[in-house]
Amino acid sequence: MTGRATDTPRWVLHVDLDQFIAAVEVLRHPDLAGRPVIVGGRGDPTERAVVSTASYEARAFGVGSGMPLRIAARKVPDAVILPVDHAAYTAASDEVMATLRAQPDAVVQVLGWDEAFVGVATADPEAYAENLQHAVLARTRLHCSVGIGDTLVRAKNATGFGKPRGRFRLTAENWLDVMGERPTIDLWGVGTKISRRLEALGIRTVRELAVADTAPLAAEFGPKMGPWYRQLGRGDGSNVVDDTPWVARGHSRETTYQQDLVARDAIEAAAQVLLAQVLDDVAAEGRPVVGLGLKVRYAPFLTKTFTRKIAETHDRATVIAEASILLAKIEPDRPVRLLGMRAEMAMPDDAREGHTPTRSGW
């Protein structure tokens, strides 16, 4: 966290906009206030698409991000379903981030459209967070929740307890009191697969992970990741908020097809279209490709991913040739409903390399 030397305590604030995309749409269409709003795809539930976000009114019916749009429409027949408008959300996000950067002595690390860490030295983080919320609301008419912590991990986990429109503090002092009996999947950085592997080791709760023996963890997850998961269980880690501009590690494109692709030549042609788009994105950055990824979703909904490291290259033909090795992994005679291609690029020397916010900072 940059700034002048001071004896004032340093805090990490995690700012998370409440139902961001839905809230932006309500601002654009005030008559939608209080109604169940679902945003996804082109706004047509008869097409193959997933929910990008849903208003709290729609969430009350069990609608969530990533749910197929047609299922969401069945759950809430009277919902207003709108198409995704990336430009509108980007513009709103930019206004929010500008507001955060305008706060006194704030160091802002953007995590995405709707969330950011704010590092600040203050004797009263709750008051600072409240003032920040008022500033965001005044400039953008959007509400946000703020998690207050002494590490990035604790601040991020705290936010959920403050939603919506509130504030919550998690520190070393109350971490286990608040989080201890919760399942490990509630931790930022632990997903379904990891929580299941932890459960196989007899670790079900955050408290159990916090006091776990590192030897079994290291045996299961590796000498670095194993101890790191225990650190995560304690909420420990970096308190450094880094405003170094984010540099994309790669570019990807994917498409859900309204009709399954069946013929092999049609599947490969579709993949080549996506790869060409990705390589255009990569060429605009001027960095060499060092890896490739393929995502395939077979009908009805089985998803497989494949990756391949390649020798660093700027040559488009070489990348296309390497991609053909991945495309050969697509199973014959299986209908395909989604394809995705990704290219990983070499990172600049001054980029945030090798870390994530949870893994001891950037």
How do residues 206-242 score in pLDDT, each as one tens digit?
A: 999 999 999 999 999 999 999 999 999 999 999 999 9
Catalytic residue among 57, 115, 322, 344: 115
Q: Using an 8 Å Cβ cutoff, are 341 and 319 in contact?
A: no
Q: How far is it, in rounded angstroms, from Cα 172 to Cα 317?
A: 53
**Percentage of the chain exceeding pLDDT 90:** 89
Q: Using an 8 Å Cβ cutoff, are 89 and 142 in contact?
A: no
Q: Is the pLDDT of residue 290 over 90?
A: yes
Half-sphere exposure of 161 (CA within 13 A, CB side): 18
Cα 52–Cα 55–Cα 59 angle in degrees, nearest 5: 90
Identify residue 348 by its one-letter amino acid code.
P
- Work out the average pLDDT over 158-185: 97
How do residues 13-51 score in pLDDT, each as one tens digit?
A: 999 999 999 999 999 999 999 999 999 999 999 999 999
Q: Share the mean pLDDT of the chain.
A: 93
- Work out the average pLDDT over 305-331: 96
Q: Using an 8 Å Cβ cutoff, are 146 and 126 in contact?
A: no
Half-sphere exposure of 71 (CA within 13 A, CB side): 11
How do residues 233-270 score in pLDDT, each as one tens digit?
A: 999 999 999 998 878 889 999 999 999 999 999 999 99
pTM of this prediction? 0.82
Residue found by looking up tokens 């959300």 in the block: 89
Q: How far is it, in rounded angstroms, from Cα 77 to Cα 65?
A: 17
Rg of the chain over CA atoms, in angstroms?
A: 22
Annotated catalytic residue 115: yes
How would you classify the pairing of strands 336-345 and 302-313? unpaired
